[in-house]
């Protein structure tokens, strides 16, 4: 495994996009962890005398509110900083939930085949037959709005990707001789699936996890924008975007800044994911 | 005369049929193994030789229960295959695979690969297990410091040694060797063959040695089973098969093998044609379309194994 | 002007890589020549450089390779200084090549007819229907029964032996002067191997074509080619007439290779085989001096220094004397 990661790092270092992605991710992780130290104000604190102030470096801005304030006088910079905590943990939860469920179902489908496989694959077809955001909306509508329900909904939508990738990989690996060798020693199916085969399916899993991170952040932000995700006064980027949209002409920074935050995080994870794919899948790399 | 106690493995009229189902087409039957009979004695090596499609790999899979048989009876140490408990079975019969690059899990260290059979089948503690692994690695000629390396650090020959060590961890009585050296470089083959010979004496192993390489089979085997398209065509001792082959296929196989020390310069015999499709076998002898000695009778019915000159041959023309 | 078809002097092939600043020296000071109509067997294990040399001759090694040579002449052309256009004409025209796995060398989506006709049209100035007739002729020549029907087949409908025959038909379609056969029968059964090798041999004699037969099997070489060269770790270690070299190998590696073959010398069944200890060194772990010295039983101090020159067909300071035992 150590060799695997040092090789991976060597390949990634050559990819400028992936390195930029990693730098942004590390920066945002720092910001998220140190939010109470960095943020100048409490994100929910209201300053009644500072409504919709522009950023301090623009005309009319006020020192102490670097990125300005929102419509009820909360410091935008602090809200964005705390927002990174929410977005990253949302991305993380989505990936963890969908990865574990997807991997489990994918391994079982790929390994057993037959009826089990058909049942699981029809389920994924069902989920994938609707646009993912629409399906997520349906789930949240049933469960009720809120950040945790949004996470569940987005995770459900992300599961089929994992199932498909793992299943395809398992179907290749299960015919290899080392699997037959394990059978010869009487290894149980569980052991063969999760101890022998699964570690050999890591490469596409890592790529998908990285891409799933950005999908998760984006989808939860979208649900927030629609009012189905995080609820006030939580400083979630998608919700902030939605709250600010009526001021898009008078106070454009209120819309722009959360949008840029979402863009940068999603972009950084996509860059990392693409870089990982290039590094881990030599077949794709050779073609370009 | 050998008693049946000496017969460690006995195979009686074994059949293996694959069904090939295609949409909108009738199900096809592929007879991968038809009526196979043989036995393996303690400490001996039975060579199984044949070209691709002859069923030798299927035979290995059926004998190791990786695939179920369609018909017939297999007896291991006096017990029928269906009656042996799984644990006992795995500790009595083991296999070494052809491709040392595919048969070792690339994400596991050598130590874990070799220890696996013990982890699964015994309750031996980690420390003791480690000692047993180290001892076995020494026996197959691998140094201690290799234990913590991953398969891709090993050369082909070393990987095959790993595979052999793993197969021996439970001290089996029968070892199936499926083309154990054909993926290796020529200068490495002899090393591995020598190791196998040493281990056979040390652990009193019975080998089922599957190979397409006649010179390897000749050197390693006591008795030999020649297969063609799922059937046994000749079955006898090494000397009978190599010095006086009776079946035309055996003769041609021996003749075709490239040699550095061919006695006669005459290389005139080149067998015509190729293997018929296993889905569409001739009605008579499967070798008849390629056989230089075929007669009308060969087209009509399949020749059965008969004892001729002390060995079993399936040919009407052999005397 | 020599009458050799191919003259190679001091051929060196290096590979650059991102990971190692030091280029890999894959083939070292290789010199050999080949007469018109002659078959040369090249024997070596993996990593010996036997295949790389051929790819270099064909000019298809890729950008990471650096090839240098004092002389690299084929039929009067200097292979290393040709323009890509001229090289293309020679490649597939005057030099043809067949590979170990015919199935991957044929395009699975195109019929046999399309692939053969395309090759013929690329090199000969004839009409399409003439090319088709020529294709039928060629298939018959390589021993394919009912060649007309076979033209319509796709590669997956052919057996391994049949596919290799089609490859040979394509290779000889342009009347090449040199055929490079890189392990042409390794993937095939022994009875089919014999058919294919016999076919190559007969084409060589009939068309007065030169053949380089690359193989790991000394048996194949000893039955089919007059001359042989043995390669080890990027160097030519021994060369000579096959029947002499097989009986009296002088290089310890050749000797070891021959005597470790089961059945090469009289030996009791199940008795230990002679074997060469150790493994072929990896590209970046090549020893100084004789490449074989870490595995050689007769190694002496002077084997471990300097560059050992080939002398009288053997690259060894202490060649072995006496017949194979």
pLDDT in tens, C224-250: 888 999 999 889 999 999 988 888 899
Q: Neighbouring chains of A at 3+ CB pairs within 8 Å?
A: B
Contact: B258, C273; criterion CB under 8 Å: no
Question: What's the whole-number mean pLDDT along residues A147-152?
Answer: 91
B271 vs B188, which has greater pLDDT? Answer: B188
Average pLDDT value over all residues in chain B: 87
pLDDT of C2 reads 57
Domain count, chain C: 1
pLDDT at residue A50 above 90?
A: no
Residue C121 lies in a domain: no
- Kindly state the DSSP code that residue C91 receives in the 8-state scheme: B
Contacts of B215 in chain C (CB under 8 A): 219, 261-264
Contacts of B212 in chain C (CB under 8 A): 189-190
pLDDT in tens, B280-309: 777 888 888 888 888 888 888 888 888 888
Pick C216's closest partner by Cβ from B186, B252, B274. Answer: B186
Contact: C260, B186; criterion CB under 8 Å: yes
Residue C170 lies in a domain: no
C231 vs C269, which has greater pLDDT? Answer: C231
Residue C123 lies in a domain: no
Question: What's the whole-number mean pLDDT along residues A189-217?
Answer: 89
Contacts of B219 in chain C (CB under 8 A): 262-263, 267, 269-270, 273
- Cα three-residue angle A141-A147-A151, rounded to 5 degrees: 80
pLDDT of A269 reads 92
DSSP string over C7-39: EEEEEEEEE--SS-SSPEEEEEEEEEEEETT-E
pLDDT in tens, C80-130: 888 888 888 888 788 999 988 888 888 889 999 999 998 888 888 889 999
pLDDT of B1 reads 44
Report yes or no: C252 and C230 within 8 Å, Cβ to Cβ.
no
Residue C171 lies in a domain: no
pLDDT of C65 reads 85
- Closest CA of chain C from B169, distance in Å: 24
Is A114's Cβ below 8 Å from some Cβ in B?
no
Contact: C257, B260; criterion CB under 8 Å: no
Residue C100 lies in a domain: no
- Closest CA of chain C from B35, distance in Å: 24
pLDDT of C1 reads 44
pLDDT at residue A1 above 70?
A: no
pLDDT of B200 reads 94
- Closest CA of chain B from A234, distance in Å: 44
pLDDT of B47 reads 94
pLDDT at residue A222 above 50?
A: yes
Is C325's Cβ below 8 Å from some Cβ in B?
no
Q: Which residue has the tokens 């046994």?
A: B232
Pick A200's closest partner by Cβ from B87, B106, B116. Answer: B106
pLDDT of A2 reads 58
Which of B187, B193, B199 should be substituted to probe chain C, the one whose Cβ sees the most C Cβ atoms within 10 Å? B187
Is B51's Cβ below 8 Å from some Cβ in C?
yes
Contact: B190, C276; criterion CB under 8 Å: yes
DSSP string over C267-316: --TTSPPP---S-PPPGGGPPSSSTTTTT-TT--GGGGSSPPPPBTTB--
Question: What's the whole-number mean pLDDT along residues C131-151?
Answer: 89
Tokens found for residue A215: 């999908």
User: What is the ipTM, given to two decimal places?
Assistant: 0.85
pLDDT in tens, A79-115: 999 989 988 998 899 999 999 999 999 999 999 999 9
Is B277's Cβ below 8 Å from some Cβ in C?
no
Residue C221 lies in a domain: yes
Q: How far apart are CA C303 and CA C217, in angstroms?
A: 27
Pick C280's closest partner by Cβ from B185, B215, B258. Answer: B185
Contact: B155, C279; criterion CB under 8 Å: yes
pLDDT in tens, C293-302: 888 888 888 8
B251 to chain C: nearest residue by CA? C191
Q: What does residue C68 show for φ and ψ, rounded to 5 degrees?
A: -130, 150
Q: Could you give the percent of chain A with pLDDT greater than 70?
A: 96
Contact: B95, A3; criterion CB under 8 Å: no
pLDDT of A110 reads 94
Contact: B121, A186; criterion CB under 8 Å: yes
Report yes or no: B254 and B226 within 8 Å, Cβ to Cβ.
no
Contact: B95, A199; criterion CB under 8 Å: no
Question: What's the whole-number mean pLDDT along residues B4-15?
Answer: 84
CATH number reported for the structural domain that contains residue C300 in this entry: 3.40.50.300
Residue C153 lies in a domain: no
Residue C276 lies in a domain: yes
3-state secondary structure chain A: CHHHHHHHHHHHHCCHHHHHHHHHHHHHHHHHHCHHHHCCCCCCCCCCCCCCCCCCCCCCCCCCCCCCECCCCCEHHHHHHHHHHHHHHHHHHHHHHHHHHHHHHHHHHHHHCHHHHHHHHHHHHHHHCCCHHHHHHHHHHHHCCCHHHHHHHHHHHHHHHHHHHHHHHHHHHCCCHHHHHHHHCCCCHHHHHHHHHHHHHHHHHHHHHHHHHHHHHHHHHHHHHCCCCCCCCCCCHHHHHHHHHHHCCCCHHHHHHHHHHHHHHHHHHHHHHHHHHHHHCHHHHHHC
Range(s) of the domain holding residue C84: 1-94+180-185+214-325
pLDDT in tens, B158-177: 999 999 999 999 999 999 99
């Amino acid at each position: 495994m150590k060799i695997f990661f040092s090789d991976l790092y060597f390949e990634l270092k050559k990819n400028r996009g992936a390195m930029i992605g990693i730098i942004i991710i590390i920066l945002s992780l720092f910001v998220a962890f140190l939010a109470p130290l960095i943020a100048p104000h409490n994100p929910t604190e209201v300053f009644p005398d500072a409504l919709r102030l522009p950023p301090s470096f623009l005309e009319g801005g006020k020192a102490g509110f670097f990125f300005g304030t929102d419509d009820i006088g909360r410091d935008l910079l602090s809200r964005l900083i705390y927002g990174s905590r929410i977005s990253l943990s949302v991305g993380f939860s989505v990936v963890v939930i969908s990865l574990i469920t997807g991997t489990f179902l994918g391994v079982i489908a790929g390994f057993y085949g037959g009826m089990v496989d058909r049942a699981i694959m029809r389920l994924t077809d069902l989920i994938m037959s609707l646009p993912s955001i629409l399906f997520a909306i349906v789930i949240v509508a049933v469960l009720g709005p809120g950040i945790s329900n949004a996470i569940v909904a987005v995770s459900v939508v992300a599961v089929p990707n994992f199932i498909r990738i793992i299943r395809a990989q398992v179907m290749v690996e299960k015919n290899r001789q080392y699997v037959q060798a394990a059978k010869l020693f009487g290894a149980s199916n569980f052991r063969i699936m999760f101890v022998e085969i699964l570690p050999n399916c890591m490469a596409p899993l890592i790529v998908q996890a990285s891409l799933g991170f950005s999908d998760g952040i984006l989808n939860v932000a979208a649900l927030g924008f629609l009012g189905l995700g995080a609820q006030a006064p939580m400083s979630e980027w998608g919700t902030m975007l939605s709250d600010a949209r009526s001021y898009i002409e008078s106070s454009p920074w209120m819309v722009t800044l959360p949008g840029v935050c979402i863009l940068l995080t999603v972009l950084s994870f996509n860059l990392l994911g693409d870089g990982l794919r290039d590094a881990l899948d030599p077949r794709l790399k050779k073609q370009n | 005369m050998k008693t049946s106690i000496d017969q460690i493995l006995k195979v009686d009229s074994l059949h293996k049929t694959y069904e090939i189902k295609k949409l909108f087409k009738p199900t096809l039957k592929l007879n991968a193994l038809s009526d196979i009979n043989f036995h393996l004695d303690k400490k001996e090596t039975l060579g199984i030789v044949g070209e691709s499609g002859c069923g030798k790999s299927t035979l290995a899979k059926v004998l190791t229960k990786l695939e179920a048989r369609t018909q017939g009876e297999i007896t291991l140490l006096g017990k029928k295959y269906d009656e042996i408990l799984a644990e006992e079975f795995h500790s009595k019969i083991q296999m070494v695979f052809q491709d040392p690059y595919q048969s070792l899990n690339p994400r596991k260290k050598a130590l874990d690969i070799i220890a696996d059979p013990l982890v699964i089948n015994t309750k031996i503690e980690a420390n003791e297990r480690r000692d047993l692994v180290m001892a076995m690695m020494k026996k197959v000629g691998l140094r201690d410091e290799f234990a913590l390396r991953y398969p891709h650090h090993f050369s082909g020959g070393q990987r095959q040694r790993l595979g052999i060590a793993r197969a021996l961890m439970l001290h089996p009585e029968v070892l199936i060797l499926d083309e154990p050296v054909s993926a290796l470089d020529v200068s490495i083959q002899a090393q591995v063959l020598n190791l196998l010979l040493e281990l056979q004496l040390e652990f009193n192993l019975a080998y089922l040695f599957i190979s397409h390489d006649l010179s390897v089979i000749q050197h390693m085997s006591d008795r030999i089973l020649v297969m063609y398209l799922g059937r046994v065509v000749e079955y006898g001792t090494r000397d009978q098969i190599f010095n006086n082959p009776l079946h035309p296929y055996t003769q041609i196989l021996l003749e075709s093998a490239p040699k550095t020390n061919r006695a006669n310069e005459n290389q005139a015999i080149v067998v015509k044609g190729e293997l018929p499709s296993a889905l569409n076998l001739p009605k008579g002898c499967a070798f008849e379309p390629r056989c230089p000695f075929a007669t009308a009778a060969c087209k009509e019915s399949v020749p059965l194994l008969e004892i001729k000159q002390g060995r079993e041959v399936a040919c009407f023309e052999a005397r | 002007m020599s009458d050799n078809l191919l003259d190679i002097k001091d051929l060196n092939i290096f590979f650059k890589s991102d990971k190692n600043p030091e280029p890999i020296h894959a083939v070292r000071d290789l010199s050999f020549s080949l007469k018109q109509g002659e078959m040369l067997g090249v024997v070596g294990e993996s990593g010996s450089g036997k295949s790389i040399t051929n790819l270099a001759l064909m000019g298809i090694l890729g950008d990471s390779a650096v090839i240098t040579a004092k002389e690299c002449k084929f039929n009067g052309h200097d292979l290393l200084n040709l323009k890509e256009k001229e090289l293309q004409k020679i490649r597939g025209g005057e030099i043809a090549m067949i590979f170990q796995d015919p199935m991957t060398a044929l395009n699975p989506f195109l019929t046999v007819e399309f692939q053969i006709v395309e090759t013929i049209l690329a090199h000969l100035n004839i009409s399409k229907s003439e090319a088709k007739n020529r294709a039928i002729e060629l298939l018959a020549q390589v021993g394919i029964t009912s060649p007309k029907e076979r033209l319509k087949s796709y590669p997956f409908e052919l057996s391994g032996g049949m596919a290799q025959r089609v490859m040979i038909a394509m290779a000889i379609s342009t009347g090449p002067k040199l055929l490079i056969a890189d392990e042409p029968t390794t993937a095939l059964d022994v009875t089919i191997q014999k058919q294919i090798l016999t076919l190559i041999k007969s084409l060589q004699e009939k068309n007065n074509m030169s053949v380089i037969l690359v193989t790991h099997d000394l048996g194949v070489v000893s039955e089919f080619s007059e001359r042989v060269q043995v390669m080890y770790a990027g160097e030519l270690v021994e060369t000579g007439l096959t029947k002499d070299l097989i009986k009296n190998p002088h290089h310890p590696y050749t000797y070891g290779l021959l005597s470790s073959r089961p059945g090469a010398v009289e030996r009791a069944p199940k008795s230990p085989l002679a074997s060469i200890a150790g493994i072929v060194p990896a590209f970046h772990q090549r020893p100084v001096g004789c490449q074989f010295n870490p595995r050689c039983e007769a190694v002496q101090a002077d084997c471990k220094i300097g560059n050992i020159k080939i002398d009288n067909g053997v690259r060894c300071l202490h060649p072995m004397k006496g017949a194979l035992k």
